[in-house]
Each structure stands twice: as C-alpha cells, then as structure tokens.
Amino acid sequence: MKNLKSISVALLLAASVATPAMAQSAEKDYEPIPYTFVSVQGGVQNVIDKNYNNWKTFTPTAAISLGHFFSPGVGARLNVNGIWNKGCATTYTNETAYYKYNYVTTDVDALLNLSTLFSKKQYCPVNFYLIGGFGWYRAWDNKEALALSPSVPDMVPTYVEKDKRDAVNCRMGAQLDVNLCKNVAFNIEATYNRKLAQEKTFARDNDHFLVMAGLNFKFGYKKKPIIMVDEPEPEVWETRIDTTWYDDISYKDVVKPGDIDKRIFFNLKESDVESTDAQIAAVAEFLKGVQNGEVTITAYADAGTGNPKLNMEYSKQRAEKTKAALIEKGVDPSIIKSVEWKGDTVQPYPNDNDKNRVSIITGKGVYKQQEKVVNKKFKTSERRVRVQ
C-alpha cells in the first residue's frame, strides 16, 4: 500500500508540471467539448464489514470504461470492474474464515465535472468528477466458500453456497483527472459499491470500497474552424488642431451700498444665544465690516407651539439677547437703530413652522460684496483623425 501511494503522488506531481504548457497549446486548435474517452484503471478494493479484519480482505482490482462528455459539466460512461475478490465468515468455532471468488460489475455511471459545471470555462487542466450509477453484479468460482459452508452457520442456500450469484450494484464516488496532454489524462478514483438484493432471489455479497489509478484516453475532438479575415485597407490619419473657448470665471471684492438681511434661528422654547453662537459670530463679523449701516432686529416665535402670551415673551427675549450678543462680539451699537418683537402674530415662514423661531436683522449699509468677473479664453489641443 505504501508503494502504491508513493507512485500515485509521484505521477500526480509530474502531471501537474507537464499540464499547463501542453494543455494550453492543444486548446488553441480544437474544441475541448464534446469528446469520447476510454479509461483503463488498476488498484485495490476491500470488503466493508465491521465484524471482520478488513486488512485481510484487500484484493487487486481493475476496470475499463467507455464514456462521453456531452457538455463541459456532464458526461456518462459504461464501466466494467472486477475480477478478484475475498469474502469472510464466522465458523461454528467462532473463527474467521476467508475465501476467494471472482466477480464482475457492469455499471452505467453519470459524471458531473465540478471544475466546469459552475463556471463558464469549457476547459480545465485538472478536473474533479462526482460519480453515480447502477448496474449488474455477477459472482462465480466460489469453491472455497462451498468448502467452508458446512462449518459456517450463516451460509444459507441463497447466500455464498450458490456458485453463481447475481445482484443489482449501486455505485457512488469521485475521480481526479489531470490532463497530461491533448489526448491523455492521469486519473485517481475512489468509489463505493453497494450490492442491492432481495432474499431468496439475489445474493447479498459484501459492499466494497475501491481505490484505483489509471489513464483516460480522449479522442473525437472537433477542430476549431479557421476564420478567414480579409486584409484591411491601409489606414490614413492626420493631425488636427481643435480650439475650445471657455469662460474663465473669477470674483473680486467691491464696496457697494446694499440691503442687509441676516437671520439667526433658535431651537424650540429657546432664547439663549449659546446654542446659536456660530450664527451670531457670522452675523457679527459681517456687521463689523458695514459702513454707514442702520439695522433693525425683529424677533418672532412659531404659532405651532405654546400660546400667544408665552410666544410674545420668547420673541422679546430673542430680540434683546440677539442685540446684546452682537454688541459683545464687537458690533458698533450705533448701527442698531431699533429692536422689535412680534411673537406669533407674524410668521415670516408661513410654510415652515420651525423656522419662525428667528431673529431677523434688516437694514441698509455700505459693505464688501463679491462681484463675478467673466473672461473669454481659449485652449488648443491636437487630435489624430482617421481620414481613410
């Protein structure tokens, strides 16, 4: 067994080295699917029976197959397997007796190639097949078992006392197939053979586990069609200069008189400016740059919450605290001409209730504004154009 394992590993390594170059070159001039194959294999098998010493029931075995792959993922084969086998039984003295006989199974197997079944590739240098099938089992030359039958209590007439025995064979297993070249592949296969039988009709021999290695000879490939391509006419190209005009936009600061409209928004039931500090700071920075400015601060409350009396108080606090916060951040008090509050009697945002919690700073003054400057410019670029 050790020698067989060493030989199998060596062959597999050699195949993996030789495969890529040979397989890729072969793939260029033929279609890898469909194809027909003949497989020759040899190996060992063993009886599967927990009541006996299975190390003493190893026997050599051989197989030959004829098959065809219809698509990259699906194929079928006719497999004939045999010929040597061993059985075992317990005698009246509770000793284990082993006997030899011959057999052959003829099965029709389905092959599923997992390497290509779920991918778009038609060709893989290494393929893994799942095997499943059934067929007929025939055993004969049972002289050793017949000689033992008087001393073995469980050898009933429908069992091994019959020299020739038939049964339905069911098989499942897997095979690793490695392409050595276009037409030859090395394979290693492991299968489990189950004998299905009815009492008083068929024999019920032991199930077997087989490990075999061999060669697949593949043939029947179709050559890829040769596609004739007319020689194209020579191309003529020329260089052209393209001109693209675009707007070069910039901005400059100009000092102009204009209207002032700044707004500071508050949260629900709030008039403290701490929560609006960033807004206060931005408005204050703007007002500090205004010259000859006059502004009015008017505060409001939303009509959707509270009541008119409470909302009037909120708007008053917002107006007064807005003025105080602006002055604290450096705004000249003289430009703030008046402070007003409207409660919820006026809603500057009739369609957005929450925005009505606001202080609005309006007025006039002279301040810096950004003015858009547009200059027309162009750029050129070369491009190659095919004219023939």
Structural domains in the chain plus CATH codes: 2-223 (2.40.160.20), 246-375 (3.30.1330.60)
pLDDT, mean of residues 60-69: 94
Of 74 and 227, the structure prediction assigns the larger pLDDT to 74
DSSP result, 326-357: HHHTT--GGGEEEEEE-TTS--S-TT-GGGGS
pLDDT, mean of residues 105-116: 92
Which residues neighbour 14 within 8 Å (Cβ) at sequence distance 6 or greater?
Answer: none
pLDDT of residue 386: 85
pLDDT of residue 339: 95
Q: For residue 106, what are the CA distances in angstroms to 132, 142, 196, 202, 212?
A: 13, 20, 14, 16, 16
pLDDT of residue 76: 94
CA distance 361 to 261: 6
Q: How confident is the model at residue 300 (pLDDT cuts 50, 70, 90)?
A: very high
pLDDT, mean of residues 111-118: 88
Which residues neighbour 232 within 8 Å (Cβ) at sequence distance 6 or greater?
Answer: none
pLDDT of residue 295: 94
pLDDT, mean of residues 180-208: 76
pLDDT of residue 28: 61
Average model confidence (pLDDT) across the chain: 82
**Whether the bond into 260 is cis, omega within 30 of 0:** no
7-11, 69-73, 182-186, 278-282: least confidently modelled range: 7-11
pLDDT, mean of residues 269-291: 85
Strand pairing partners for 189? 175, 212
CA distance 35 to 177: 15
15-24, 159-168, 325-334: least confidently modelled range: 15-24
Of 273 and 359, the structure prediction assigns the larger pLDDT to 359
CA distance 265 to 279: 8
pLDDT of residue 93: 63
